[in-house]
Amino acid sequence: MIQDQFKRPLRDLRISVTDRCNFRCTYCMPAEIFGEGYKFLPRDEILSFEEIERLTRIIVRAGAVKLRLTGGEPLVRQDIETLVAMLAEIDGVEDLAMTTNAYFLPQKAQALKDAGLQRVTISLDSLDEDVFQRMNGRRSSVQKVLDGIAAAEQAGFDPIKINTVVQRGVNDHTVVDLARFCKDHGYIVRFIEYMDVGTMNGWRMDDVVPADELVARIDAELPLEPIGKNYRGEVARRYRFRNGGGEIGLITSVTRPFCGACTRLRLSPEGQIFTCLFAGQGTDLRAPLRSGASDEELEQILRGTWHARNDRYSEERSELTEPRTEKVQMYHIGG
Ligand code: SF4
């Protein structure tokens, strides 16, 4: 088991299988930047399924037990269920999950389940049609996502988790409705404090709705009580509805950072590993991989990178005199 400079073990691997997405969410891939002519990574620069599987096997051997497939949007990568089946075969993997915008789930949910995917987390920022469309660059209706959720339920994914990024003055006035909807349907919604991921979303602290304020708003209509974490290092702060069961979660990277227990490594589509969501630089594994490095040599690079890790950006954010200008983009490594 390898540890970093703060004795944090490597437990979670987020695998970004593509830098492409069919949505244009304003806080991740704003349409005015990622227009028709935007050049995404050419096919041959993206890791093949075999390369992803080999690197994942090495990273699991070094301690990772939880895998999450992300993107961009993972379901725009063709035959993604084939990769799921390959990763599900790896000894030591305890949890295999995916974060998706659900748009293609009606076509893919059953195949993913059959291939061995254990959990899905679905991004849905609002039930209000106009608000949702403004946030995703008018690329999808709410109903399209609800159809995807229904397909995931049909395929047997349970519980369904929902991720919602909350921005003040954009969708914060619709969070109580979403909480009620998820409570009524048995979904677990995670409200995510709007973060300064990447360098293209024009983030301002004024646009952040602190988790405590969100809890107070929801509690006023749907009484809540705090409950403990499911496991050490779990990111979400959890609350149970007092009446009728069900729970919500808050991801508080801005107001209550959780870097101290962060055990996450990220693999980008072109084979770089990043030790933090807000990292400026990654470590390239593709070049040695494609120039014949052995598993042991690749593992040495991985171990050296993790051992040297001292990231705690969210804890440092408020102390920074100048905003960090070099940060990997969110669509490139998945949230
Ligand atoms: S800011 Fe970086 S170190 Fe802190 S929790 Fe997020 S990914 Fe982990």
pLDDT tens-digit series, residues 153-189? 999 999 999 999 999 999 999 999 999 999 999 999 9
Q: Work out the pLDDT band at 13, boundaries 50, 70, 90.
A: very high
Q: Is the CB of 121 under 6 A from ligand 1?
A: no
98-110: pLDDT as tens digits: 999 999 999 999 9
Tell whether 214 is covered by a domain: yes
Q: Is the CB of 265 under 6 A from ligand 1?
A: no
Instruction: Give the mean pLDDT of 43-56.
Output: 98
Tell whether 5 is covered by a domain: no
Q: Work out the pLDDT band at 128, boundaries 50, 70, 90.
A: very high
- Cα–Cα dist 120/98, whole Å: 5
C-alpha separations of 312 from 201, 264, 315, 322 in Å: 21, 12, 6, 16
Q: How far is the CA of 130 from the centre of ligand 1 (A)?
A: 32
Q: Is the CB of 274 under 6 A from ligand 1?
A: no
Question: Into how many domains does the chain fold?
Answer: 1
Domain range for 283 is 12-333
Q: How far is the CA of 106 from the centre of ligand 1 (A)?
A: 33
Instruction: Give the mean pLDDT of 49-66.
Output: 98
Helix, strand, coil in percent for the chain, rounding step 5? 35, 20, 45
Tell whether 6 is covered by a domain: no
C-alpha separations of 246 from 184, 229, 239, 241, 309 in Å: 8, 15, 9, 6, 37
Instruction: Give the mean pLDDT of 8-32.
Output: 96
State whether the Cα torsion 70-71-73-76 is positive or negative. negative
- Which pLDDT score, from 0 to 100, does residue 321 have? 81
Tell whether 261 is covered by a domain: yes
Give me the residues paired with residue 273 across strands: 267, 283
User: Which residue owns the Cα nearest ligand 1 atom 5?
Assistant: 259
- Which pLDDT score, from 0 to 100, does residue 15 have? 98
* DSSP H or E segment with residue 155: helix 142-155
Q: Is the CB of 10 under 6 A from ligand 1?
A: no
Q: Is the CB of 275 under 6 A from ligand 1?
A: no
Q: How far is the CA of 68 from the centre of ligand 1 (A)?
A: 16
- For residue 234, pLDDT over 90 is answered with no
Q: How far is the CA of 208 from the centre of ligand 1 (A)?
A: 18
Question: Of all atoms in ligand 1, which is nearest to the CA of residue 279?
Answer: 2
- Which pLDDT score, from 0 to 100, does residue 37 have? 87
- For residue 232, pLDDT over 80 is answered with no
Q: Is the CB of 314 under 6 A from ligand 1?
A: yes
Q: Work out the pLDDT band at 244, boundaries 50, 70, 90.
A: confident
- For residue 299, pLDDT over 80 is answered with yes
- Which pLDDT score, from 0 to 100, does residue 36 have? 86
CATH assignment of the domain containing 74: 3.20.20.70
- For residue 93, pLDDT over 90 is answered with yes
Q: Is the CB of 233 under 6 A from ligand 1?
A: no
Tell whether 50 is covered by a domain: yes
- Which pLDDT score, from 0 to 100, does residue 327 have? 94
Higher pLDDT, 335 or 286: 286
Tell whether 4 is covered by a domain: no
246-274: pLDDT as tens digits: 999 999 999 999 999 999 999 999 999 99
Average pLDDT, the chain: 96
Burial class (CB in 10 A: 0-12, 13-18, 19+), 61: middle
Q: Is the CB of 259 under 6 A from ligand 1?
A: yes
Q: How far is the CA of 113 from the centre of ligand 1 (A)?
A: 30
- For residue 1, pLDDT over 90 is answered with no
Q: How far is the CA of 311 from the centre of ligand 1 (A)?
A: 7
Q: Is the CB of 276 under 6 A from ligand 1?
A: yes
Q: Work out the pLDDT band at 231, boundaries 50, 70, 90.
A: confident
- Which pLDDT score, from 0 to 100, does residue 262 have? 95
Q: How far is the CA of 257 from the centre of ligand 1 (A)?
A: 8
Tell whether 7 is covered by a domain: no
Tell whether 140 is covered by a domain: yes
Q: Work out the pLDDT band at 118, boundaries 50, 70, 90.
A: very high
